[in-house]
A and B are shown apart, each in its own frame.
Chain A
Amino acid sequence: MSILAYVRSVRTVLVIALAVRVVAVGTLASLTMLLGAGLVDLVTPLGVVTRAALLVIAAVAGVATSASLAWRDRRVLSLERVALWIEERFPSLEFTLATAVETGDDRVVDQRSAEHWTTTALRRAARVVRAPLASIVVAGIIVLTLPGGVVARMRAPHRGDSIDRATLGSRTNASRLTPLVARIVPPAYTGEQSTTMDEPRDVRAIVGSTITFRGRGKGNGIVARRGNDSIPAASDNDRWSIALRVDARPAALRIVDRGFERIVAIEPVADAAPVVTLVMPSHDSVLRAPTGRIALAADVRDDFGIASAAFEYIVSSGEGETFTFRSGALGATRPNNTRASVSAALALESLDLKPGDVVHLRAVARDANDVSGPGVGTSETRTIRIARHDEYDSVAVEAAAPSDEEKSVISERMLIMLAEALEKVRPRLKRDSLVGVSRGIAADQKRLRRTVGEIVFTRLGGESPGEEHSDEDSPSRGKTMQDMLARADSATNRSTDPIDFSGGESPVVAVNQPLLEAYNAMWDASTELEVAEPGRALPHMRRALAAIQRARAAERLYLRGRPPEVVVDVNRARLQGKDKGTSSVRQASSASDAATRRRIERFANIVELATRNASAAIDSLLLLRIDALADAPAFATALSDAANAMRRGRSSAATEALARARRLLAGAPVARDSLTRWGIVP
Chain B
Amino acid sequence: MTSEFVFATAQYDSGDWDSAPLLPANIIDTIARYTEIPVAPTGVVVALSDDRMLRYPLLYLTGHLPVRFSDAERRNVKRFVERGGMLFVDDHNHDIDGVFHKTATEEIARTIAPLSELPNEHPLFSAFFKFDGPPATSHELNGWGDNLVHKHLLAVRRAAGNRIAVLFSNKDYSSEWNYHPESKRFLTVDNTRFAVNLVVYALTA
**Which residues does A use to contact B, with CB under 8 Å?**
284, 314, 316, 318, 321, 323, 325, 327, 358, 360, 362, 378, 380-381, 383, 393, 395-396, 398-402, 405-408, 411-414, 417, 562-563, 565-571, 573-582, 584-592, 594
Task: Return chain B residues, CB-CB under 8 Å to A396.
Answer: 19-22, 178
CB atoms of B65 and A566 under 8 A apart: no
- CB-CB under 8 A for A584 and B128, given A417-B147, A568-B181: yes
Q: Complex Cα distance A504/B141, Å? A: 31
Tell me whether B16 is interfacial, beta carbon within 8 Å.
yes
- Interface residues on chain B, size class: 35 or more
- Interface flags for B116-157 (1: CB within 8 Å of A; 0: not) read 000000010011111000000011011110010000000000
Q: Which of B16, B141, B158 contacts A407 (CB 8 A)?
A: B141
Looking at A402, A417, A585, which has the most chain B CB atoms within 10 Å of its CB? Answer: A402
A567 to B41, CA, bound (A): 6
Complex alpha-carbon distance, A414 and B68, angstroms: 32
Which B residues, 101 to 118, have Cβ-Cβ distances below 8 Å to chain A?
A: 103, 110
A580–B36 Cα distance when bound, in Å, is: 12
Min CB distance A505 to B, Å, is 23
Q: Taking CB as reference atom, which chain B residue is nearest A314?
A: B66
Q: Is B96 located at the chain interface by the 8 A CB criterion?
A: no
Alpha-carbon distance between A406 and B137 when the two chains are bound, in angstroms: 9
Q: Output the least CB separation between B173 and chain A (Å).
A: 12
A563: chain B residues at CB < 8 Å are 21-22
A-B CB contact pairs (8 Å), 16 listed: A314-B99, A314-B103, A325-B66, A396-B19, A400-B179, A400-B183, A401-B179, A562-B21, A566-B181, A567-B41, A576-B32, A576-B33, A579-B129, A586-B205, A592-B159, A592-B160
Knowing that A407-B138, A413-B142, A566-B180 touch, tell me 20 more A-B residue pairs with CB under 8 angstroms: A314-B99, A321-B19, A323-B93, A360-B68, A396-B19, A401-B183, A401-B186, A411-B142, A412-B143, A413-B147, A566-B42, A567-B25, A579-B190, A581-B128, A582-B126, A584-B128, A584-B200, A586-B123, A589-B162, A592-B159
Contacts A396-B22, A398-B180, A566-B181 known; A574 to B142 CB distance under 8 Å? Answer: no
B65 CB contact (under 8 Å) in A316, A581, A582: A316
Name the CB-closest residue of A to B189.
Answer: A579
Q: How far is the CA of A578 from the CA of B185 in the complex (A)?
A: 11
The residue that B41 contacts in the complex, of A393, A569, A586, with Cβ under 8 A, is A569
CB distance from A199 to the nearest CB of B (A): 38
Within 8 A of A (CB), among B19-70: 19-22, 25, 28-30, 32-36, 39, 41-42, 64-66, 68, 70
- Which residue, of A360, A395, A562, A585, has the highest number of chain B Cβ atoms within 10 A? A360
Minimum CB–CB distance from B18 to chain A (whole Å) comes to 7
B169 smallest CB distance to A (angstroms): 16
Chain B nearest CB from A278 CB (Å) reads 11
Residue contact A358 to B65, C-beta cutoff 8 Å: yes
The 8 closest A-B pairs by CB, nearest first: A413-B143, A589-B161, A381-B68, A577-B33, A411-B143, A566-B25, A581-B128, A573-B32
Closest to A383 in B: B14
Task: Evaluate contact between A414 and B147: CB separation under 8 angstroms.
Answer: yes
The total of Cβ contacts below 8 Å across the A-B interface reads 177
A575 B143 Cβ-Cβ under 8 A:
no
- The answer to whether A401 touches B184 (Cβ under 8 A) is yes
Q: Are B22 and A399 in contact (CB under 8 A)?
A: yes
Q: Does B92 contact A (CB under 8 A)?
A: yes
State whether A584 and B123 are in contact (beta carbons under 8 Å apart), knowing that A381-B14, A383-B13, A407-B138 are contacts in the complex: yes
Check A568–B28 contact: CB distance below 8 A. Answer: yes
Contact of A575 among B33, B65, B162 (CB under 8 A): B33
* B175 contacts chain A at the CB level, 8 A cutoff: yes
What chain B residues lie within 8 Å of A412 (beta carbons)? 142-143
Q: Indicate which residue in A314, A411, A562, A566 contacts B141 across the interface (CB closer than 8 Å).
A: A411
In the complex, residue of chain B having the shortest beta-carbon distance to the beta carbon of A578: B190
B34 touches A575 (CB 8 A): yes
The reply to whether A590 and B22 contact each other, CB–CB distance below 8 Å, is no
Contact between B66 and A360, CB atoms less than 8 A apart: yes
Most B CB contacts (10 A, CB to CB) among A568, A569, A582 go to: A568
Check B39 against A323 for contact (C-beta < 8 Å).
Answer: no
Question: With A and B bound together, what is the CA distance between A423 and B85 in angstroms?
Answer: 51
Q: Specify the main secondary structure of chain B where it touches its partner.
A: loop
**B98:A325 contact, CB within 8 angstroms:** yes
Residues of chain B within 8 A of A566, CB atoms compared: 22, 25, 42, 180-181
A327: B residues at CB distance < 8 A: 99
B128 touches A582 (CB 8 A): yes
Whether the pair A581, B28 counts as a contact (CB closer than 8 A) is: no
Least Cβ–Cβ distance between A441 and chain B, in angstroms: 15
Closest A residue, CB atoms, query B147? A413
Within the assembled complex, what's the spacing in Å between the Cα atoms of A589 and B65? 36
Whether, in the assembled complex, B187 has its beta carbon less than 8 Å from a beta carbon of chain A, the answer is yes
**A562 to B19 alpha-carbon distance, docked (Å):** 12
Known: A402-B179, A579-B193. A360 touches B14 (CB 8 A): yes
CA A567 to CA B163, docked complex, whole Å:
32
Contact B14 A401 (CB under 8 A): no
Assuming the A-B contacts A399-B180, A586-B204, are A568 and B25 also in contact, with contact meaning beta carbons closer than 8 angstroms in the complex? yes
Query: Which one, A398, A577, A589, contacts B160 given CB within 8 A?
Result: A589
Bound Cα distance A578, B34 (Å):
8
How many whole Å from A417's CB to the nearest CB in chain B? 7
Tell whether, in the assembled complex, residue B70 and residue A406 are in contact, meaning their CB atoms are under 8 Å apart.
Answer: no
Find chain A residues with CB under 8 A from B204 CB: 586
Q: Knowing A417-B147, A568-B181, A584-B123 touch, does A400 contact B28 (C-beta < 8 A)?
A: no
Q: A585 and B14 in contact (CB under 8 A), knowing A412-B143, A574-B33?
A: no
Task: Check if B65 sits within 8 Å of A584, measured CB to CB.
Answer: no
Knowing A399-B178, A401-B186, the reply to whether A587 touches B123 (Cβ < 8 A) is yes
Q: Which residues of B contact A569 (CB under 8 A)?
A: 41
Contacts of B34 in A (CB 8 A): 575, 577, 579-581
CB B71 to nearest CB in A, in angstroms, measures: 6
B36 contacts A574, CB within 8 Å? yes
**B196 is an interface residue with CB less than 8 A from chain A:** yes
Contacting residues, chain B, for A395 (C-beta < 8 A)? 18, 21
A559 to chain B, nearest CB (A): 12
Whether A360 pairs with B65 at a CB distance below 8 angstroms is yes
Most buried by A among B103, B138, B162, B178: B138
- Tell me, in angstroms, the Cα distance from A570 to B38 when the chains sit together: 9
| Complex-state Cα separation, A399 to B180, whole angstroms | 7
CB-CB under 8 A from B110, the residues of chain A are: 378
Residues in chain A near residue B181, CB distance under 8 A: 566, 568, 573
Residues of A within 8 A of B68 (CB): 360, 362, 380-381
Q: Which residues on the A side are within 8 Å of B30 (C-beta)? A: 577
Q: Quick one: which of B33, B160, B176, B184 contacts A590, CB cutoff 8 A? A: B160
B198 to chain A, nearest CB (A): 13
* CB of A399 to closest CB in B, whole Å: 5
The CA-CA distance from A588 to B15 in the complex, in Å, is 38
Also in contact, A585 and B123, with CB within 8 A (given A380-B70, A399-B22, A407-B141): yes
Q: How far is the CA of A586 from the CA of B123 in the complex (A)?
A: 8
